[in-house]
C-alpha cells in the first residue's frame, strides 16, 4: 500500500473522446489524516477532478494517468467498498437527502450495503451523538434548516466510516453562520476521527484556518500549486489569478501592506484570522510610525448620499402567512430610492424574503400599505433563480418574454454580452454554474426593463469573481440608469462594497437604516472582517479599499 | 407519550388490531355491534386527538350517516312497515333502520381509519413491509419526502413568475398560459432534483448489496402475551358475531335484539388500546404475566 490515501499521477481529463483536455498532468498525494483545500476559479475543473475519485459520480469523458484511493484504483473497488471508503458530500443539500426522516437518512447508506441491524443501530447511535443530532433524530427532513440538512448529509456519509471525505462546495447554499457551524464539525471529523478531507470551497476565509494543504488549479487546468497555506498566499502575491478577493480579509490586508513595502518582515506566516490580523496591523503601524508615520494624514472622505426620490415605500406593514401563525413583519417602514442600492441584512427567518414579496406586491400586507410610484415596474428575483428558466437554450430562454417586454434578439445579444455570457448562449440553462445562473437570471429580468429590482440573496453560491461582476452590474444600473435596487444578503463584505444604504431586520422589525459605511462602522460585530480587524487600531475602515486609503497606499 | 402505550407496541400488533377492527366493522350491520364499534372508535379517537378534532371529524361523518340512511330508505322498498309513499318512492321503517345501520358502519370504519393514521406512522408501515418489499417501502419514504418539496418548489416558481410577468396579462388566457409554464418549470426542476438525489443514492452504495432495514421495533414478552390474548378475542368474536349476525335481519321486519356474550367479547377486542394501559397501574397479576423474572446470578451472567 502506498503512503498516500489519495493519489493522482499524471492525471488528464477531457470531455467526450476527442475534446481538448480540461485537466492536464495533475500529480499530487494526500497523506493520511490531512485536510486539503482544492481551489481555483469557477470553471477550472475542480468538480471534475473530485468526481474522478468516485466512479459512481465520475464525469463522462476520457481520462489518462493513474488515480489511487487507499492504494487501489477506485474503478477496481466493489460498489460496497467504494461506498464505505470514499465519502462524497455534494452541493445543494436539499437534493441529497433521500428519505423523509432524519434517522432513516442516517441509516440509508448502511441499509444499502446490507449491514446487520445490531451493528447498524450502534453506528447510527454513535454518529448521531458525535454530530449532536440526538435532539432532532426523529424529525422530518423537510422541517430542517439548510445548515441542519447539510450537517445531516455529512453525518449520513461519516456513518459509513469512510477513510476519505471528499466535499464539493458543501456550503455554497448556506448562510455564513450555518457554514461556520458546518466547518467546525468538519474540522472535528478531521481532527478527532482522523478522516482525510479534500474539499473545494470558495469561502477561503472559513476553511483556510483548518487546512494543512492547499491545491490550486490554474485556469489552464494544471495544478499550479501544491503545498501549505503560507506558500499559497506567497504564490498568489506573485501571480494574482482572480483568487485574491476570495482570501481572508486579514491575509488581503497583509498582502496590501507587503506590496507597499510596509509589511512586518519578521513574520513567518500570513495572518488568516481576525485576531491574527489585528496583531499584524498593530505591529505594522508601529513599524510605519517608526519610519516616520503615514506621511500625509489620510482621512477617508465623508460620505454623503445625494438626495433622491422615493419610488417604493412600505408604510407600517404587518404580515403573517396564516391567521394562526405569528406575524413575520411587524410594522415595517421602508423607503426605496431611485439610483441607489439598498441592502437588507438580518438572520434567517427575520422576514427579509417576506418583505421583498410584499414590496413586489405578491403578498398583501394584513395591515399597512405598499405605496408605489405611478407606472413603476417592479421585478423580483427570488432565491433559486433556476425557477425562471423554461427553454433548452439560454438565448431562447432570454427571448421568452420578448412580446411582453417589447425587446428583440439584438437587445438580448447585447444583454448577454454585458453579462459576459455570450459564450454560453447555446447552453442549457440548468447546466450553468451558480454564478452564471445568477447572471443569466438577472439578464432575463433586466430585459423586461424594470425600474425597481428586488433581489433575494443574489450572491448565494457565487465565488469571489462572480460576486464582483454582479456587484459591478448593480452599481452600474443604479448610477447610470437610475434604477432602484434592494437586495438581501448574508455576505456583509459584498454589502459593504456595493450597497449605499443598509437596513437591519431583527425580530420582524427594521431596527436601523443607515448609509452602508456608517452602518458597518457603528456595528460592533455584525460587520465586515476588515472593520473588525481595524476597529480601535485604524478607525473608519470597512473594506480593504478603505484600509488602503487610510494607509495612504491607494 | 401523548398517544398512549398502545402506540408503542410492535407495528405488527398495531397493524393486526386495526385490520381486525376495520374488518369486523365492515362485516356486520348488526345494530349492537355497529354501536359498539362506533363508541370504541370514537373513544379511541378522542383519546388520541382530543375533543375538538374529534368533533370536526364527526361533523363530516354525521351528514354521511343521514345521507346514506335517507338514500337507502328511498330506494329500498323491501320493508313491511310503510311510513310514506309517493309515486314510485316508498319509505319504510326497515329500510330506514338498515340505512342508519349502514351509515353507522361507515362512520365506525372512517373513525378507525382516523385512529390508524395517528398510530400507524409511516415508519411503522415501512418497517412492516420494508423487509419484504424494500423497493416499495423506499419509494413510499421517498414520495413522502418529495411531496412537500414539490409543493414548496411550486410556490417558489409561482412567486418568481408572478413577480415578473404577473402584471402584464391578467386575462384568463394569460393566467392559463402562466399555469402551463409553471408546470413545465416544475417538471424540469423536478427532474434536475431527481438526478442529484440519484447521484447521492449511488454514492452511498444504493443497489450494491441486498438492503437491510434499520429496525426500530423489537418483540418483548409483553407483545407476545397481548398478542395471544388478542388472537383469542378475535377468534371468540368471530364465532359469536357470525352467530348473532346470522340470526339478525332487517327485512321484512327488523328482528329483535337478543342478549349475547358476543357483545362483551367484541367490546373487549375493540378496547385493546385501553386495556393495555392497565400496565401503568402496576397490577400484580397483569405485570407478572409479562414474563418478568427476578434477577438471578444466572440471568446476570447471561450478558457475558
Question: How far is it, in rounded angstroms, from Cα A295 to Cα A549?
Answer: 12
Mean pLDDT rounded to a whole number for chain B: 83
% of residues, chain A, pLDDT over 90: 37
- Among the partner residues A54, A113, A383, nearest to B209 by beta-carbon distance: A113
Residues in chain A with CB shorter than 8 Å from the CB of B199 are: 56-57, 90, 96
Reported as a pLDDT band with limits 50, 70 and 90, residue B303 is very low
**Cβ atoms A20, A198 nearer than 8 A:** no
pLDDT tens, residue by residue, A237-267: 666 656 777 888 888 888 888 877 766 655 5
Residue span of the structural domain in which A532 resides: 310-537
Residue span of the structural domain in which B62 resides: 5-126+215-301
Among A260-269, A294-303, A478-487, name the one with the lowest average pLDDT. A294-303
- Among the partner residues A54, A83, A386, nearest to B189 by beta-carbon distance: A386
Query: Are B32 and B53 in the same domain?
Result: yes
Measured between CA atoms, how close is A115 to chain B, in angstroms? 6
Return the residue in B133, B142, B143, B163 with the most chain A beta carbons within 10 A, the one to mutate for interface testing.
B163
Looking at A238, A261, A282, which one is the last position of a domain? Answer: A238
Reported as a pLDDT band with limits 50, 70 and 90, residue A292 is low
Query: Are B31 and B112 in the same domain?
Result: yes
Return the residue in A58, A359, A387 with the most chain B beta carbons within 10 A, the one to mutate for interface testing.
A387
What grid cell was written down for B302?
447471561
Looking at A238, A260, A275, which one is the last position of a domain? Answer: A238
N- to C-terminal Cα separation, chain A:
54
Looking at B147, B176, B203, which one is the last position of a domain? Answer: B203
pLDDT tens, residue by residue, A181-192: 999 999 999 999
> What does pTM read for this prediction?
0.79
Query: Are B99 and B21 in the same domain?
Result: yes
**Does B52 lie at the interface with A, CB-CB under 8 angstroms?**
no
Query: Are B267 and B176 in the same domain?
Result: no
CB–CB contact A111 B211 (8 Å): yes
Query: Are A189 and A47 in the same domain?
Result: yes
In the block, residue with C-alpha cell 437586495? A487
Q: State the average pLDDT over residues A21-32.
A: 91
Question: How far is it, in rounded angstroms, from Cα A430 to Cα A505?
Answer: 33
Query: Are B258 and B284 in the same domain?
Result: yes
pLDDT tens, residue by residue, B118-168: 888 777 887 787 666 777 777 877 888 888 888 888 888 888 888 888 777
CB–CB contact A381 B160 (8 Å): yes
Strands A378-381 and A452-456: what pairing?
A: parallel
Question: How far is it, in rounded angstroms, from Cα A398 to Cα A413?
Answer: 9
Reported as a pLDDT band with limits 50, 70 and 90, residue A166 is very high
Measured between CA atoms, how close is A258 to chain B, in angstroms? 45
Measured between CA atoms, how close is B58 to chain A, in angstroms? 23
- Calculate helix-pair angle for B221-247, B261-270, nearest 10 degrees: 140
The count of structural domains within chain B is 2
Return the residue in A81, A84, A100 with the most chain B beta carbons within 10 A, the one to mutate for interface testing.
A100
Cα separations in angstroms, B183 against A379, A427, A522, B151: 21, 22, 47, 12
pLDDT tens, residue by residue, A316-334: 999 998 888 889 999 999 9
Query: Are B15 and B113 in the same domain?
Result: yes
DSSP state at residue A267: -
**Does B159 lie at the interface with A, CB-CB under 8 angstroms?**
yes
Q: Indicate which CATH number applies to the domain containing A11.
A: 3.40.50.300
B208 part of a folded domain: no
Q: What is the interface pTM, i.e. ipTM, of the complex?
A: 0.82
Q: State the average pLDDT over residues B40-66.
A: 89
Q: Bridge-partner residues for A317, per DSSP?
A: A332
- What string of H, E and C letters represents the secondary structure of A114-125? CCCHHHHHHHHH
Give B 125-144 residues with CB within 8 A of chain A. Answer: 126, 138, 141-142, 144
Query: Are A187 and A315 in the same domain?
Result: no
A246 part of a folded domain: no
Amino acid at each position: 500500500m502506498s503512503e498516500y490515501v489519495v493519489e493522482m499521477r499524471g492525471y488528464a481529463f477531457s470531455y467526450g473522446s476527442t475534446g481538448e483536455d480540461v485537466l492536464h498532468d495533475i500529480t499530487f498525494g494526500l497523506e493520511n489524516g490531512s485536510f486539503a483545500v482544492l481551489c481555483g476559479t469557477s470553471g477550472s475543473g475542480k468538480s471534475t477532478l473530485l468526481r474522478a475519485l468516485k466512479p459512481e459520480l465520475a464525469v463522462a469523458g476520457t481520462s489518462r494517468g493513474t488515480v489511487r484511493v487507499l492504494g487501489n484504483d477506485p474503478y477496481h473497488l466493489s460498489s460496497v467498498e467504494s461506498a464505505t471508503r470514499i465519502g462524497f458530500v455534494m452541493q445543494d443539500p436539499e437534493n441529497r437527502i433521500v428519505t423523509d426522516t432524519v434517522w432513516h437518512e442516517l441509516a440509508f447508506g448502511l441499509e444499502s450495503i446490507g449491514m446487520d441491524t445490531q451493528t447498524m443501530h450502534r453506528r447510527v447511535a454513535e454518529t448521531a451523538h458525535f454530530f449532536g443530532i440526538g435532539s432532532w433524530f426523529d424529525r422530518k427532513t423537510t422541517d430542517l434548516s439548510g445548515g441542519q440538512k447539510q450537517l445531516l448529509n455529512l453525518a449520513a456519509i461519516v456513518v459509513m466510516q469512510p477513510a476519505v471525505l471528499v466535499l464539493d462546495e458543501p456550503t455554497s447554499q448556506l448562510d455564513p453562520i450555518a457554514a461556520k457551524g458546518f466547518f467546525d464539525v468538519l474540522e472535528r471529523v478531521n481532527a478527532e476521527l482522523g478522516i482525510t478531507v479534500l474539499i473545494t470551497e470558495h469561502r477561503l476565509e472559513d476553511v483556510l484556518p483548518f487546512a494543512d494543504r492547499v491545491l490550486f488549479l490554474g485556469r489552464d487546468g494544471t495544478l499550479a500549486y501544491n503545498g501549505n497555506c503560507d506558500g499559497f498566499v506567497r504564490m498568489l502575491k506573485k501571480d494574482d489569478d482572480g483568487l485574491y478577493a476570495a482570501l481572508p480579509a486579514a491575509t488581503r490586508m497583509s498582502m496590501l501592506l507587503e506590496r507597499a513595502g510596509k509589511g512586518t518582515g519578521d513574520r513567518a506566516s500570513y495572518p488568516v484570522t481576525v485576531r491574527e490580523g489585528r496583531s499584524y496591523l498593530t505591529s505594522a503601524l508601529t513599524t510605519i510610525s517608526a519610519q516616520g508615520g503615514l506621511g500625509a494624514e489620510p482621512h477617508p472622505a465623508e460620505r454623503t448620499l445625494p438626495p433622491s426620490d422615493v419610488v417604493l415605500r412600505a408604510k407600517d406593514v404587518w404580515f403573517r402567512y396564516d391567521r394562526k401563525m405569528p406575524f413575520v413583519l411587524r410594522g415595517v417602514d421602508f423607503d426605496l430610492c431611485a439610483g441607489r442600492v439598498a441592502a437588507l441584512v438580518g438572520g434567517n427567518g427575520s422576514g427579509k424574503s417576506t418583505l421583498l414579496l410584499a414590496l413586489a406586491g405578491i403578498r398583501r400586507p394584513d395591515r399597512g400599505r405598499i405605496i408605489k410610484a405611478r407606472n413603476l415596474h417592479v421585478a423580483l428575483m427570488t432565491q433559486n433563480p433556476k425557477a425562471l428558466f423554461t427553454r433548452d437554450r439560454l438565448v431562447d430562454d432570454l427571448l421568452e418574454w420578448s412580446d411582453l417586454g417589447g425587446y428583440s434578439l439584438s437587445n438580448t445579444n447585447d444583454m448577454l454580452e454585458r453579462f459576459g455570457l455570450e459564450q454560453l448562449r447555446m447552453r442549457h440553462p440548468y447546466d450553468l454554474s451558480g454564478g452564471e445562473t445568477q447572471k443569466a437570471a438577472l439578464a432575463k429580468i433586466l430585459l423586461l426593463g424594470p425600474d425597481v429590482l428586488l433581489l433575494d440573496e443574489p450572491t448565494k453560491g457565487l465565488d469571489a469573481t462572480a460576486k464582483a461582476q454582479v456587484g459591478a452590474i448593480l452599481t452600474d444600473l443604479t448610477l447610470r440608469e437610475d434604477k432602484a435596487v434592494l437586495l438581501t444578503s448574508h455576505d456583509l463584505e459584498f454589502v459593504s462594497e456595493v450597497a449605499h444604504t443598509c437596513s437591519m431586520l431583527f425580530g420582524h422589525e427594521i431596527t436601523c437604516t443607515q448609509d452602508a459605511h456608517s452602518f458597518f462602522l457603528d456595528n460592533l460585530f455584525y460587520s465586515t472582517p476588515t472593520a473588525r480587524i481595524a476597529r480601535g487600531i485604524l478607525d473608519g475602515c470597512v473594506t480593504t479599499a478603505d484600509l488602503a486609503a487610510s494607509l495612504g497606499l491607494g | 407519550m401523548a398517544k398512549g402505550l398502545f402506540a408503542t407496541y410492535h407495528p405488527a400488533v398495531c397493524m393486526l388490531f386495526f385490520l381486525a377492527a376495520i374488518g369486523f366493522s365492515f362485516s356486520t350491520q348488526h345494530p349492537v355491534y355497529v354501536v359498539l364499534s362506533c363508541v370504541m372508535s370514537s373513544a379511541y379517537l378522542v383519546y388520541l386527538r382530543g375533543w375538538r378534532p374529534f368533533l370536526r371529524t364527526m361533523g363530516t361523518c354525521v351528514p354521511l350517516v343521514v345521507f346514506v340512511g335517507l338514500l337507502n330508505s328511498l330506494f329500498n322498498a323491501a320493508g313491511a312497515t310503510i311510513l310514506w309513499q309517493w309515486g314510485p318512492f316508498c319509505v319504510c321503517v326497515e329500510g330506514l333502520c338498515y340505512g342508519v345501520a349502514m351509515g353507522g358502519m361507515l362512520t365506525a370504519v372512517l373513525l378507525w381509519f382516523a385512529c390508524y393514521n395517528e398510530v400507524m406512522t409511516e415508519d411503522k408501515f415501512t418497517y412492516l413491509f420494508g423487509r419484504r418489499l424494500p423497493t416499495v417501502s423506499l419509494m413510499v419514504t421517498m414520495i413522502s419526502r418529495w411531496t412537500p418539496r414539490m409543493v414548496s418548489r411550486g410556490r417558489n416558481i409561482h412567486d418568481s413568475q408572478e413577480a415578473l410577468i404577473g402584471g402584464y396579462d391578467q386575462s384568463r388566457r394569460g393566467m392559463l398560459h402562466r399555469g402551463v409554464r409553471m408546470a413545465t418549470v416544475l417538471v424540469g426542476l423536478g427532474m434536475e432534483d431527481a438526478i442529484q438525489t440519484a447521484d447521492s443514492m449511488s454514492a452511498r452504495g444504493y443497489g450494491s448489496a441486498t438492503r437491510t432495514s434499520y429496525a426500530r421495533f423489537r418483540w418483548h414478552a409483553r407483545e407476545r402475551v397481548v398478542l395471544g390474548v388478542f388472537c383469542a378475542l378475535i377468534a371468540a368474536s368471530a364465532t359469536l358475531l357470525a352467530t348473532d349476525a346470522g340470526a339478525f335481519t332487517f327485512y321484512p321486519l327488523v328482528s329483535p335484539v337478543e342478549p349475547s356474550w358476543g357483545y362483551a367479547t367484541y367490546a373487549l377486542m375493540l378496547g385493546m388500546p385501553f386495556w393495555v394501559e392497565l400496565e401503568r397501574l402496576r397490577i400484580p397479576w397483569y405485570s407478572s404475566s409479562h414474563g418478568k423474572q427476578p434477577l438471578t446470578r444466572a440471568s446476570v451472567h447471561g450478558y457475558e
